[in-house]
Amino acid sequence: MTKKATVYDVAERAGVSIATVSRVLRQPDAVRPVTRERVLDAVAALGYVPSGSARGLAERRTGVLGLYFPGFDASEDAPVLDVLAEDRVEVPPFTVEQAPADVGMPHPTMLFLDEVLRGAELEAWKQGFVLMIGVGRGDPARETVRDIAGRVDGLMVLAQSVPDDVLARLAQRIPVVVLSGPARGDSYDHVTVSNAEAMSELTRLVLAQADPGRLAFLAGPEDSPDGAQRWEGFAAAMAEAGIAADDVTVLRGDFTRASGHRAAEELIARGAPAALVAANDQMALGAIDAFRSAGIRVPDDVRVTGFDGIEAAALSRPTLTTVRQPMIDLGRAAVQLLARRLEQPEADPMTVRLPLQILVRESSQRPE
């Protein structure tokens, strides 16, 4: 084995200081292009690989940021796969089975978190950090979040996914950023969106085209911060129009497409509304499925709106009117807040509110 190249070797070959080499590798946009290219050429020529452990010891940091998600899927119930088991039997290359309607469908929250994760990964790489993911599946004692907190320089968590007392103890040791939830008198940095305001405006658009006396609202789970804010925005728009929230048919789902289908079937049994405002896209798409099966046309007979802006909303028939969340930007902003907090630990807590985009599509358009 040949001797590994060091940062000093790279600096000597490129004719720069070791600080410049470090800056090129951690924050390349902060270095002039000519210098950056010279350093990167030296890195490539020498086959230099930065030592994260050595850097961490020098800076008293790990160079790792944590992102903690609650567990939403049921993969812990899946059969155990052990490819190294001595008694593993040969299996056919494929099987053909009748699949349930919801097979392979991820939990809708995972669709949201996947995009947040993409943004966090992109920004962590740009900032010179590694991202560590923790999923608290089947972990009521929150041991997973405690474990990941002990391995990282800072932690990002989804609002209300960690008990307040646990989060407060963790925040005494490392910086914490809370995603998708407003500050509640705490001292954390927050990155959030205007759920209530966007839902209010979307509801006004629906009210302009539908009989306000025949509106229905499909709410999310009771423990969802986003769901609560979206109901708040809907209720505010109704009150503004002089309509009491109690006069609106309200059903509750769990953000899944199946729950939207069930809710729409219940509405059909009562008499289909003129419009259905759903707290997320998956439930709205499930409702459209049920209306279609019952011969109820969207938007001719009932208008439907969603919230989140997932890809399926643009591919449905009819295309779904929705509110697009900046999911990738949520992840990027959370990493930026953590990086700022690590450099300025005494700075005042900051809440970053990202804009939403209302996308008016076929499902809410007044028929010609």
265, 181: one domain = no
Does 239 lie in the same domain as 159? no
Does 229 share its domain with 309? yes
In a domain, 119, yes or no: yes
- 140 pLDDT exceeds 60? no
206 plus 318 within the same structural domain: yes
Tell me the per-residue pLDDT of 306-358, one tens digit each, with 9 for 90 and over. 999 988 999 999 999 999 999 999 999 999 999 999 989 899 999 999 999 99
Q: Name which residue leads in pLDDT, 166 or 253.
A: 253
The highest-confidence range among 19-23, 146-150, 316-320, by mean pLDDT, is: 316-320
The domain total for the chain is 3
Predicted confidence at residue 21, as pLDDT, reads 85
Q: What is the pLDDT of residue 150?
A: 85
Of the given ranges (53-57, 143-147, 165-169), which has the lowest mean pLDDT? 53-57
Per the structure, the complete domain to which residue 263 belongs is given by 195-325+358-364
Residue 87 lies in a domain: no
Residue 83, domain member (yes or no): no
* pLDDT value at residue 57: 42
When pLDDT is cut at 50, 70 and 90, the band that residue 288 belongs to is very high
In this prediction, residue 58 carries a pLDDT of: 46
Q: Is residue 174 part of a domain?
A: yes
Q: Is residue 210 part of a domain?
A: yes
pLDDT given at position 1? 44
Question: By mean pLDDT, which of 100-104, 238-242, 298-302 is the weakest?
Answer: 100-104
Query: By percentage, how much of the chain surpasses pLDDT 90?
Result: 49
CATH number for 313: 3.40.50.2300
Query: Which of 15-19, 31-35, 305-309 is modeled with the greatest confidence?
Result: 305-309
**Residues 311 and 221 grouped into a single domain:** yes
- Do 214 and 172 share a domain, yes or no? no
From CA 25, how far away is CA 302, in angstroms rounded?
55
pLDDT per residue over 64-86, tens digit each?
899 998 765 444 455 666 767 66
